[in-house]
């Protein structure tokens, strides 16, 4: 699965997840050196029941090996998509996965249990994004393949790191980075021309805060 239709702190994070044998001290890029996650098969039940209320104030706290950032979730514009994202976070689905695709000055993408751009949770959700949605810096949306219909999502998500990227509104909205944009930029600087990160960037945990 590829995002974008075929284009497509540090100290607190370290204290929060503890030191393991796969970790080394923070490097020059400001990210802990961690081992690349191993691919894993996931097959969750059908899409979860709707528990998120439209307009409910929710924040996703994304702890990574490069620091922590927060996402103000778009419960008013995308309640079904946010509901699935929050469900996966609550199941600790994202814990230990990586940002497996980093396109310099474009997007960072993560949430794939197979770590090859083709994985998901075993179900999909359909929710057309707002027709006037623009993918500007800090917007968080769900990845999908070009063959899938607008608004379809599984578990993979991306964060826009460029001022704006010229895309039609076909990628389901999750929210917008509300805190820790410097961490997102730090992750983005690990991108390469091959779109593979120059070092692994691990998602330690995603939690949902009301």
The answer to whether 164 and 136 have CB atoms below 8 angstroms apart is: yes
pLDDT per residue as tens digits for the range 103-160: 999 999 999 999 999 999 999 999 999 999 999 999 999 999 999 999 999 999 999 9
Mean predicted confidence (pLDDT) in 51-67: 97
**pLDDT of amino acid 45:** 86
Q: What is the Cα–Cα distance from 78 to 92, expressed in whole angstroms? A: 21
The residues near 84 (Cβ < 8 Å, ≥ 6 apart) are 47, 48, 125, 153
The domains of the chain are located at 10-19+56-209
pLDDT per residue as tens digits for the range 157-192: 999 999 999 999 999 999 999 999 999 999 999 999
Least confident of 6-15, 58-67, 126-135, 162-171: 6-15
Q: What are phi and psi of 159, to 5 degrees?
A: -120, 130
The answer to whether 154 and 123 have CB atoms below 8 angstroms apart is: yes
pLDDT score of 6 more than 60: no
Q: What is the Cα–Cα distance from 92 to 168, expressed in whole angstroms? A: 31
The answer to whether 141 and 173 have CB atoms below 8 angstroms apart is: yes
The answer to whether 129 and 73 have CB atoms below 8 angstroms apart is: no
- CATH number of this structure's domain 10-19+56-209, picked from the four choices 3.20.20.140, 2.60.40.10, 1.10.40.50, 2.40.100.10: 2.40.100.10
**pLDDT of amino acid 18:** 39
């Amino acid at each position: 699965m590829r995002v974008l239709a075929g284009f497509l702190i540090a100290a607190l994070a370290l204290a929060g997840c503890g030191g393991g044998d796969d970790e080394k001290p923070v490097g020059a890029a400001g990210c802990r050196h961690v081992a690349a996650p191993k691919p894993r098969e996931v097959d969750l039940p059908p899409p979860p029941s709707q528990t998120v209320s439209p307009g409910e104030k929710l924040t996703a706290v994304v702890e990574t090996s490069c620091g922590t950032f927060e996402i103000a979730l778009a419960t008013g514009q995308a309640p079904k998509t946010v509901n699935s994202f929050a469900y996966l976070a609550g199941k600790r689905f994202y814990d230990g996965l990586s940002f497996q695709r980093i396109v310099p000055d474009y997007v960072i993408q993560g949430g794939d249990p197979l770590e090859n751009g083709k994985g998901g949770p075993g179900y999909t959700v359909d929710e057309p994004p707002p027709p006037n949605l623009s993918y500007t810096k800090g917007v968080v949306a769900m990845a999908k393949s070009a063959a899938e219909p607008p608004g379809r999502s599984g578990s993979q998500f991306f964060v826009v790191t460029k001022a704006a990227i010229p895309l039609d509104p076909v990628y389901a909205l999750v929210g917008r980075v509300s805190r820790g944009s410097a961490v997102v930029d730090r992750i983005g600087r690990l991108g390469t021309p091959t779109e593979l990160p120059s070092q692994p960037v691990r998602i330690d945990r995603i939690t949902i805060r009301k």
